[in-house]
């Protein structure tokens, strides 16, 4: 079975024909060639495929594209504006929150979800909000610093 | 993992539409957040021809909670439940259980109904197609034998591991089921029919829910008991994402120095969530070694955990008992 799916993707309205059994992850990567969202464990255990749906993080590997009808879906490609990195990306860049980079898009989207609902999160809040995302390189310390830095950048304060 | 098999997705907007869709095809599977069902479909464990997505049914997405009563819709997300101030204040075991499930992104997706109806899990079941085939498929799928309990004589011992059920059991919850024949209320404990040693049903244990064909879990109701303190805790291999090694919900009343009421429920140990029987015999006195020795005996008798990838069954039973003792001690001492 298939249907026409209407959604807001990275701020733009899209209408696409999708099969009922198409995963959001495959819709993004295979149909739209938005390969910033990564396929990691492919079973809901690693968080590499995290995207935002209506501002809240979701695992795109376990979400059906057709379930996103009428919703706002955002991927890492949608964060930068006018060629400038978004604060959360800038934070990861400046504080070395990425090493191999595979988990980074998922961690950035989970962090963006956190910062949208809590502008000045504590370290505990950051750790809890990122607990669905696994990184095998960094040991998480630089990631937490990156999110703290991003929170300051978002608030328009100091930049280093 | 495998690509998803073909299926039709229905997205009802009202409960009436959902009930009609379910009645028309009782083999259809209900979809909440998909954090369990979609994984199982991807692993080839099941291949339903039709999915009914309940997350668009607005009337199932409400939380009504105050000091007297709680009513939860089945499509409420676990994140919203864990964050609800009234639930945290008046039904702490439930809020703590919700906050402990998987990780934060899973909780944004997972729903109350999905967690209550969570498929039972086993080291021989939650595996890829080829793994299961290479290990002679277990009883819960197409095999002839329960590999985790080879002496079970044709009874499945896969473990129920939802976290909300034990918390709701100690709070005395009821659930509302709606089906083609209308709505009915059921004490939550009667939803679960997975194998229990004291239960002479003689079934194969593969059916773990008492839902009738076409029925949907729609709401959960709790009437608050004055003076009842409650809490939830669990042990996991790591503090996020993992299913519980063992989970325990406790609720008790203290009157002066006397333990006046005690309820304990376990998850991650048996084919159904276990509301410990016999705790009333431990009440009526101080919280002393007699109570803990009695508690130990009840846990040994009624909690029968199987091995997992990481832990042998006897370890899980021991930590269940230790967690129960810690929770009871903490709740009794609190304020």
Measured between beta carbons, the chain A residues lying within 8 angstroms of B110 are none
Q: Which residues of B touch A (CB under 8 A)?
A: 1, 4-9, 11, 31, 33-35, 38-39, 42-43, 51, 53, 55-56, 79, 102-106, 108-109, 239-241
Domains B1-56 and B229-333 agree in fold: no
Q: How many CB atoms lie within 10 A of CB B78?
A: 28
- The answer to whether the CB of A47 falls within 8 A of the CB of A111 is no
Q: Are strands B229-235 and B69-73 parallel, antiparallel or unpaired?
A: unpaired
Q: How far is B281 from chain A (nearest CA, A)?
A: 40
Q: Which residues of A touch B (CB under 8 A)?
A: 1, 20-23, 42-45, 47, 50, 56-59, 62-64, 66-67, 69, 110, 128-134
Domain A87-154 belongs to what architecture? Orthogonal Bundle (1.10)
What is the fold, at CATH topology level, of the domain defined by B229-333? Enolase-like; domain 1 (3.30.390)
Q: How high does pLDDT run on average in chain B?
A: 94
Residue ranges of domains in chain B: 1-56, 63-223, 229-333
Residue ranges of domains in chain A: 2-78, 87-154
Contact (CB<8Å) A67/B11: yes
Which option is the CATH number for A2-78: 2.60.120.460, 3.10.20.30, 1.20.58.100, 3.20.20.140? 3.10.20.30
Residues A43-92 pLDDT 10s: 999 999 999 999 999 999 999 999 999 999 999 999 999 999 999 999 99
Write down the pLDDT at residue B196.
84
Write down the pLDDT at residue A160.
45
Closest Cα partner for B241 from A44, A67, A119? A44
Strands of B8-10's sheet, edge to edge? B8-10, B50-53, B29-31
Of A1, A69, A132, Cβ closest to residue B105: A132
Structure tokens at B60: 């199932």
Contact (CB<8Å) A67/B55: yes
User: What are the φ/ψ torsions at residue B115 (nearest 5 degrees)?
Assistant: -70, -35
Residues B18-43 pLDDT 10s: 999 999 998 999 999 999 999 999 99
Contact (CB<8Å) B38/A64: yes
Structure-token match 């400046």, residue found: A94
- What was the ipTM of the complex prediction? 0.95
CATH class held by domain B1-56: alpha beta
Write down the pLDDT at residue B211.
94
Contact (CB<8Å) A64/B103: no
Write down the pLDDT at residue A1.
83
Positions in chain B whose pLDDT score sits under 70: 1-2, 198-203, 335
Contact (CB<8Å) A131/B7: no
Q: Which residue of B has its CA nearest to A65?
A: B9
Domain B63-223 belongs to what architecture? 2-Layer Sandwich (3.30)
Distance from C-alpha of A89 to C-alpha of A87, rounded to nearest angstrom: 5
Contact (CB<8Å) B11/A23: no
pLDDT of A7 over the 80 cut = yes
């Amino acid at each position: 079975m298939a249907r026409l799916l209407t959604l807001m993707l990275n701020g733009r309205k899209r209408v696409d024909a999708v099969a009922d059994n198409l995963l959001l992850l495959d819709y993004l990567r295979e149909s739209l060639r938005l390969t910033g969202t990564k396929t990691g464990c492919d079973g809901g255990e690693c968080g590499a495929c995290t995207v935002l749906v209506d501002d809240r993080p979701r695992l795109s590997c376990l979400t059906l594209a057709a379930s996103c009808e009428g919703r706002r879906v955002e991927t890492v490609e949608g964060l930068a504006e006018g060629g400038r990195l978004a604060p959360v990306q800038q934070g990861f860049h400046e504080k070395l929150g990425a090493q191999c980079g595979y988990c980074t898009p998922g961690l950035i989207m989970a962090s963006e979800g956190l910062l949208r609902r809590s502008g000045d999160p504590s370290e505990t809040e950051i750790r809890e909000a990122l607990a669905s995302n696994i990184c095998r390189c960094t040991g998480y310390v630089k990631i937490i610093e990156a999110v703290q830095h991003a929170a300051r950048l978002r608030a328009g304060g100091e930049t280093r | 993992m495998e690509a998803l098999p073909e299926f039709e997705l229905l997205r009802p907007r009202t409960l009436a539409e959902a009930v009609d869709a379910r009645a028309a095809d009782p083999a259809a599977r209900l979809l909440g957040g998909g954090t369990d069902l979609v994984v199982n479909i991807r692993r080839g464990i099941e291949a339903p021809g039709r999915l009914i997505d309940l997350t668009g049914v607005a009337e199932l997405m409400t939380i009504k909670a105050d000091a007297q009563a709680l009513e939860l819709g089945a499509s409420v997300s676990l994140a919203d439940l864990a964050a609800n101030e009234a639930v945290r204040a008046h039904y702490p075991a439930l809020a703590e259980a919700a906050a402990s499930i998987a990780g934060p992104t899973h909780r944004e997706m997972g729903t109350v109904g999905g967690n209550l109806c969570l498929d039972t899990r086993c080291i021989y079941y939650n595996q890829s197609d080829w793994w299961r085939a290479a290990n002679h498929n277990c009883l819960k799928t197409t095999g002839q034998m329960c590999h985790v309990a080879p002496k079970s004589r044709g009874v499945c011992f896969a473990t129920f591991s939802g976290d909300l059920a034990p918390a709701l059991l100690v709070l005395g919850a009821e659930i509302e089921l709606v089906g083609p024949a209308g709505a009915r209320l059921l004490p939550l404990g009667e939803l679960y029919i997975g194998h229990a040693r004291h239960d002479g049903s003689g079934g194969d244990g593969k059916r773990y829910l008492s839902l009738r064909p076409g029925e949907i879990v729609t709401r959960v109701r709790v009437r608050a008991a004055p003076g009842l303190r409650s809490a939830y805790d669990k042990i996991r291999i790591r503090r996020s994402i993992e299913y519980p090694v063992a989970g325990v919900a406790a609720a008790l009343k203290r009157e002066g120095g006397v333990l006046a009421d005690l309820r304990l429920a376990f998850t991650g140990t048996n084919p159904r969530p276990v509301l410990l029987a016999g705790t009333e015999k431990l009440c009526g006195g101080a919280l002393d070694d007699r109570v803990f020795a009695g508690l130990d005996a009840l846990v040994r008798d009624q909690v029968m955990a199987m091995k997992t990838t990481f832990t042998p069954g006897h370890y899980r039973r021991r930590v269940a008992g230790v967690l129960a003792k810690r929770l009871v001690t903490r709740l009794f001492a609190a304020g």
